[in-house]
Structure 1
Amino acid sequence: MSPETLRTLMAHASPPRSGDFLAGVACDSAAARVRAQRVLADTGLAEILATPLVAPEEDEVTRLILESHDAAAFASIAHHSVGSFREWLLSDAATPETLAALKWALTPEMVAAVSKIMRNQDLIAVARKRPVVTAFRTTIGLPGRLSVRIQPNHPTDDARGVAASIVDGLQFGCGDAVIGINPATDSPDAMIRLLDLIEDLRLSLGCPVQSCVLAHVTTALKVMERGAPVDLVFQSVAGSEAANASFGIDLAVLREAHAAAAELGRGTVGQNAMYFETGQGAALSANAHHGLDQQTMETRAYAVARAFDPLLVNTVVGFIGPEYLYDGKEIIRAGLEDHFCGKLLGLPMGVDVCYTNHAEADQDDMDTLLTLLGVAGVNFVMGVPGSDDIMLNYQSTSFHDAAYVRSALGLRAAPEFEAWARDFGIFDAAGQLRQADRSLELLSQMQLLEAS
């Protein structure tokens, strides 16, 4: 099979989404989609491996995928077609241990292919069997646990506003994934001010959390040189060299940042120190998708993340807009696909359950996706004050939403954070959020706002 034929087959087999129609790669009917899915199901995993969809001589992401492939581990599944691989994944033979052993045997294209012939419940069932555990100051991804990123963004990076959001989130038992701020200004000075704010709050409370200011990776390198308290290094990544170039990065600068963060050694229970974000449509928006459907390109981004042992990988599923995922149905499907594909490739996947205000979606759709992801074993979700990010101007999940899904599904916070929050009266002995008087001591920390 030629790369062109496989690209077309993968695109035509994808569940419908607006981005593929925008790119001109989607099929024209449901009947054509089913025909493509049947052909894809009969396609061998070995044939997909032998057919790079983006030429390696022009793309360093493809070279990374091929060079990191574990041929010995792949031998155990090389006989499978996409369809028989799906059946094996759903069988009892696919245990957490056997799935983990395939981390480097699987390529993004194989994983994307099998996801295209799966129902939503298949994506949930398999992802649930593949926990991925990482650690820095908290241990994230343990079965029965759900972590939350506090996202205390402010349109002007106002210290009082940011700190108030952090304290609010902590009172709801959030923050065990990361306290992660999208800065209004991407500059070394702004990044250092925000890092110092979180560091002062963390040390004052004795709270086992990690911080991240989501500035560009080159900004993080500059502030590390200046001795700033950098815990996690952030970068958005995509599935092709050209798309990453549009972000101002390549694999070399990610390797430099990974090494610099490792040298700091600021973790206590682990040293996973990278945080990546992705999103379906990113490569298309940069005109760097090489004719691939957006879900396959998204899965290729996970190969980039996988190379750097991240603490967190977050697909910001509905953020790019309805041009790529039009409505709630498309967003729900994409969130489950991304989580499944990332987990199968061995990544600590979180999902920003979100939408923009001009999408045909609402908070009921997000409640559905959040619940499904909780069942699927997602590592973390977002905690945004009131679910409305007033800086990035989109709708996400709130601290209350995190409390709901933990309570409904019996999920708990990261163990180190849970122990701290229990001492503060935020959680009860069973690790569930207390309904009143959660933490008078924590509320007293609001005096930090006055000093900031």
Structure 2
Amino acid sequence: MGARSYVFRDLKDLMAKATPLRSGDCLAGLAAASAEERVAAQMTLAALPLSIFLNNLLIPYEQDEISRLIVDDHDTLAFAPIAHLTVGDFRNWLLSDAVDEHVLTAVAPGITPEMAAAVAKIMRVQDLILAAKKCRVVTRFRNTIGLAGSLSTRLQPNHPTDDASGIAASILDGLLYGSGDAVIGINPATDNVPQVIKIVSMLNDIIERYQIPTQSCVLTHVTNTIEAINRGAPVDLVFQSIAGTEAANLSFGIDLALLAEARDAALSLQRGTVGDNVMYFETGQGSALSANAHHGIDQQTCEARAYAVARKFQPLLVNSVVGFIGPEYLYDGKQIIRAGLEDHFCAKLLGLPMGCDVCYTNHAEADQNDMDVLLTLLGTAGCTFVMGIPGSDDIMLNYQTTSFHDALYVRRLLGSKPAPEFEAWLKHMQIFSEGEQVKLGTALPSIFKQALLRLS
């Protein structure tokens, strides 16, 4: 057989063709037609200089406020140490022994989302894990998240009718497994301002009554949270789903100005005790495509662009809800695992406190064994936080994720601990006891026995 040539019409096309296979890019007509074409694209991409991404915007500056954000906030001094590198050289540099967390922290403001996405496309799974492990991102509100050797959890006590007793029982269950230091975060079944105020007030009462060094969040639209703040609600964190194009964000009913307004509103409450990171963002590959707002950009690159939005607002937490959108975008366990590791790597490289909702929908070609694999790999990669949900099954959102037991497993496997302030509280409450390593206490603390009686 003779030699075969491949032509890529522009940088967007090259980036898409170089992406490891996933169903969303196939659905959008962007994926390589064969493994051979994908390898050709990856080799071509590896030879490109990083500087090309500063001069060839995937969405024109005039058409997209995320493009403007990426260009206007780019730190040329931070970029200088890597400005001479190609994408392939950048991979080698990231994996070299000379590059540690201090070097990566310094260079992060000079890395654009497209640079991060490009290098991820030519990296193996072990590369994504090793490079992400070097990144250290620490944030603070009522505790300190992201320290070396720590793995935090979001306690997610969702209930299909927002029943207060049901929510409280799930919170108690999670706390008794050491879950909840990242946030106690609820997706409301009834999403309006009065309900948001009711739930956030309930969470505030629990945190104050038991003096828990953590933060609460109701995952409602940012406009509801702003209005709740205006009505005097005790809001800790402002939540919003975000995407990597202006058009996709508009489909969510947001823009950068609205996010800035929300952050200012939360900061005005001064509710943090050890820091003022007040934003919580969720992302996920496929969101721009599902909104028909991807501009012909592959879904992994669109996802990385969402991290520019998050980085702008100095969040306490960011996570990819990696398998939640469904098999139309990530078809099976293999694609979900790869995407979760890509998202974690790219976000950490850009300086974000990145966690992951290790999850799948019931119609995806995935199961809990796949999630065990991804959870374990993310733990070794230094993931900031994962989800903790009763029995792994979110009965309100109807998807499968990680349980309190799963989070405890990966902490025990890797010797990871909760945020230090939260760990001290767990020991004070006799939920954790000291041995060769921190372990669950054997007795139910009397204060929680009283809580159980109130719920029964």
TM-score range, shorter chain: over 0.9
For residue 144 of structure 1, give the secondary structure of its aligned residue in structure 2. Answer: coil
CA-CA distance at 1:4 after TM superposition: 5.5
Which stretch shifts more, 273-282 or 198-207?
A: 198-207
Among 31, 43, 49, which residue is 1:26 paired with? 31
Aligned to 2:377: 372
Q: Residue by residue, what CA displacement relative to the aligned partner does 1:222-256 show, whole Å, maximum 9, x if unpaired?
A: 00001100000000000000000000000010000
Please name the residue that 1:236 is paired with.
241
Match of 1:83 among 88, 100, 105: 88
Deviations 1:161-210 (A, max 9, x none): 11110010000000000000000111110001101111111111111110
Please report how far the alpha carbon of residue 94 of structure 1 lies from its aligned counterpart in structure 2 after TM superposition. 1.1
Whether the 8 Å CA contact 1:149–1:178 is kept in 2: the answer is yes
Q: Distance in 1 between matches of 2:67 and 2:168?
A: 42
SS at match of 2:432: coil
CA distance in 2, matches of 1:10, 1:210: 39
* TM-score, structure 2 normalization: 0.97
**Aligned residue number for residue 389 of structure 2:** 384
The answer to which of 422-431 and 27-36 deviates more is 422-431
In 2: Cα distance, 1:11 partner to 1:23 partner: 10
Deviation, 1:448, is: 5.1
1:107-134 deviations in whole A, cap 9, x for unaligned?
0000000000000000000100001100
- How many angstroms apart in 2 are the aligned matches of 1:41 and 1:395? 36
| 1:195 and 2:200 are equivalent in the alignment | yes
Q: Structure 2: 5+ residue runs without aligned partners?
A: 1-6
AA of the residue aligned to 1:133:
V
The amino acid of 2:102's aligned partner reads E
The SS at the match of 2:81 is coil
Match of 2:252 in 1: 247
2:148 maps to 1:143: yes
Question: Are the equivalent residues in 1 in contact too, given 2:433–2:441 (CA < 8 A)?
Answer: no
Contact 1:159 1:449 in 2 (8 A): no
The answer to whether the 8 A contact 1:211-1:230 is kept is: yes
Q: Aligned equivalents of 1:448 and 1:302: distance in 2?
A: 43
**Residue in structure 1 matched with residue 78 of structure 2 by the alignment:** 73
Residue 210 (1) aligns with residue 207 (2): no
Q: Which piece of structure 1 moves more, 438-447 or 336-345?
A: 438-447
Contact preservation (8 Å) 2:430, 2:441? no
The residue number in structure 2 matching 1:341 is 346
Calculate the aligned-residue CA RMSD, in Å: 1.3
Distance (Å, rounded) in 1 between the aligned partners of 2:300 and 2:126: 18
Q: Distance in 2 between matches of 1:208 and 1:214?
A: 20
Q: Measure, in 2, the Cα distance between the counterparts of 1:353 and 1:209.
A: 22
CA distance in 2, matches of 1:366, 1:155: 24
Give the drift of 1:435: 5.6
Residues in 1 aligned to 2:257 and 2:9: alpha-carbon distance in whole angstroms: 29
Q: Does 1:303 align with 2:300?
A: no
Q: In the alignment, is residue 219 of structure 1 matched against residue 224 of structure 2? A: yes
Displacement after TM superposition at 1:429 (Å) = 2.3
Whether the 8 Å CA contact 2:158–2:394 is kept in 1: the answer is yes
The two structures have a TM-score, normalised by structure 1, of 0.98
Q: Is the 8 A contact 1:7 1:292 kept in 2?
A: yes
Supply the distance in 2 between the matched residues of 1:13 and 1:112 (Cα, whole angstroms). 10
Task: Determine the structure 2 residue equivalent to 1:433.
Answer: 439
| Identity across the alignment (%) | 63
Corresponding letter in the other structure for 1:92: D
CA deviation vs aligned residue, 1:350-369 (integer Å, no higher than 9, x gap): 00000000000000000000
Distance 1:147 1:109, change over 3 A: same
**1: CA distance between counterparts of 2:183 and 2:340?**
20
Task: Give the structure 2 partner of residue 169 of structure 1.
Answer: 174
Say if 1:4 and 1:53, in contact at 8 Å, map to a contact too.
no
Bigger Cα displacement from structure 2, 291-300 vs 44-53: 44-53
Q: Residue type matched to 1:263 in 2? A: S
Once the two structures are overlaid, the 10-residue window that deviates more, 429-438 or 29-38, is 429-438
Whether the 8 Å CA contact 1:195–1:213 is kept in 2: the answer is: yes
Counterparts of 2:49 and 2:173, CA distance in 1: 51
CA distance in 2, matches of 1:319, 1:435: 34
Deviation string, structure 1 residues 65-117 (Cα, Å, up to 9, x no partner): 00000011111111000000100000012110110011210000000000000
Residue 437 of structure 1 and its aligned partner are, at CA, apart by 1.8
Structure 1: any 5+ residue segments left out of the alignment? Answer: none
TM-aligned CA deviation for residue 438 of structure 1? 4.6
Alignment check: 8 A CA contact 2:81 2:107 kept = no
**Counterpart amino acid of 1:245?**
L
Runs in 1 of length 4+ with deviation above 3 angstroms?
Answer: 447-450
* Residue number among 129, 137, 149 corresponding to 1:132 in the alignment: 137
Deviations 1:25-71 (A, max 9, x none): 00011111111000000000001221100111010000000000001
> Residue in 1 aligned with 2:59?
54
1:94 & 1:404 partners in 2: Cα distance?
A: 30
Cα distance in 1, alignment partners of residues 450 and 136 from structure 2: 37
| Counterpart selection for 1:293 from 294, 298, 302 | 298
Q: Is the 8 A contact 1:49 1:110 kept in 2?
A: no
Shift of 1:441: 2.8
> What count of residue pairs does the alignment treat as equivalent?
449
Cα separation, 2, equivalents of 1:391 and 1:128:
33
**Paired residue for 1:104?**
109
Aligned to 2:19: 14
Contact 1:357–1:394 (8 Å) recurs in 2 = yes
CA contact 2:282–2:318 (8 Å) conserved in 1: yes
Deviations 1:135-167 (A, max 9, x none): 101110001000000001111111111111001
Structure 1 partner of 2:362: 357
